[in-house]
Structure 1
């Protein structure tokens, strides 16, 4: 792309953008004076689609109208409501419908999945994570190790960047597995790192893990709705992700879960059970022994929370209308322009630590600022620019293709340059 560092160029790109109409489909936050924010934190909480309220209102109306009969008589019957989300969510993460279900929240799902896919022995018990994994993942893994009677100091293996670097090298994971693979039971890797924005090669990770008879799981919290992970093709055993970031489904909304088709009919996998992963044909015959459902639905425990799922459905309908190919195409252009403008700032104080290759990142850029502290983030906030600060010196910014514009990016960088 032949980018130009001018407002006129940014506005021209917005005029030519086939997806520019999407911005009007979202509520853009404003300050107390009614001035719109420049919102770059879709990597923490996506904006609310304007249709979300009517989707939730439909279920509130049906609850008022039908009471318990809404499970069968509502416009969108509640009993199978989660099934309305399956196909569209599967498209987003590149999975088959049998491999996906929406349920619980992210860390809960990771624990439920580790019940099945972390089965340590006395000799094969270690878990590999990134050294800078999201804290919740680290806590989950450490607690699983302790639950099985292992000391995390001995059983937790960290895949680390090289000295003086921020990004991970797949060759280093290969070396870890070559050295210690016979003792490793599970790889649980953040497919897109929350701090650096690095998107890892999931297929290669799965190949390396499986070559040493390890199970492979992926946390896609920062990937779902952002990149195209092609989970089925990747061959990973399981994955989980939240929906409140790039999937725009509201604070604390439900999460997604993937279990590869190769495990779909394995009823011998250990798992926790509840009435919603029991055979739906006999679910309400209360005295039947447990009969687990095939596929990802076999990890559900409870009936779906309809109001949260309504918000997810509003978002997924938008994604289904547009398609991930078109969103990804715009994302690469928009983030590429953002990168170009940052690199145009004439100072040695800033460095982008996110990979340059579009195949190795989503829309987030992590900008490292020398000799900075959180006061820089506050100054941006005072200018109505909402970014995300990560200690010790990184600003995370995500120009989301659904609602951010080229002019947003130009204005943000112009103000950042002034502050620096």
Structure 2
């Protein structure tokens, strides 16, 4: 089992590095650095003006609890394992123990960085930054270790959704973190350690390695990898990945915005595709929420304009694959409409989406009454939206035909 895990891990890491090189290209890294710098600057300015209040402790505990949910068990299992490794079910537990330890690396790094980012807030709450920061980081790691144990045990003869077992853990984590932020994070660390050791003593002592539910394990790993590949698919084509489509009937209120006439055939199709495909609508919503929060923390007008422009560019760049979503659809070649209509329809949809995106970004600063920041962000976003839709996009679409011959 050790050789099996090492072989699969090497193959998995090689495949992930291949996609990560495409995801973190020069443009995306530059955007991330600027956004990260803007977020740090805004966060520092916010902390300087922050006063200790009753809501600060439960709010910080809630944010850290939500971060505990990040990261799933990466078993790297394959569907064929249920057949070819069935006689080795008991021994396969050792394989899953190695997978559990590996699964702790990425969320562990995120939680440690989160604890480090919480140190200024701990100083506002009059805690010693060194001892409170270290114990808070250890608390998060111990709770995440317990979370991964629960995810592992859930595949052994337990016929319930994974969140049913994880929800009480997150509730206990929130209560412990809140208590620790009122007294000292060391108290939260003691509670987390007691829960972790108690779980190992009670549950793992009755662990039955032969009761593995192979179908549940394979389904969980398939869903995890599918989410990961959908993220990669935003930047490059992932072979064999099918975009998810949902009806979303409640979004049909936007469809009458496009008239059902031959002159608007492609406009209607692109709008319906944007609303129904999980990739594009979800990306648009997530980025607009994150962008509004980031802009709410920024107090420099030129930085707000720059961040808004970068966010609009990022959204526009990720919408480009939608232009070719119907290039392999045979029926689209039979539409009695000129080919130029398709390019114009996508250009118009992109312009509308980016302009609306730029306007919604101003909601964050407006809620806090930062009118100058909102005006600067809106202006920067709108300028970039117009340039992207009416200058950059036509050049990109000329290089590659929407309907290949």
Please report the TM-score for the alignment, with normalisation by the length of structure 2: 0.25
Bigger Cα Rg: 2
Which structure has greater strand proportion? 1
Which structure has greater helix proportion? 2
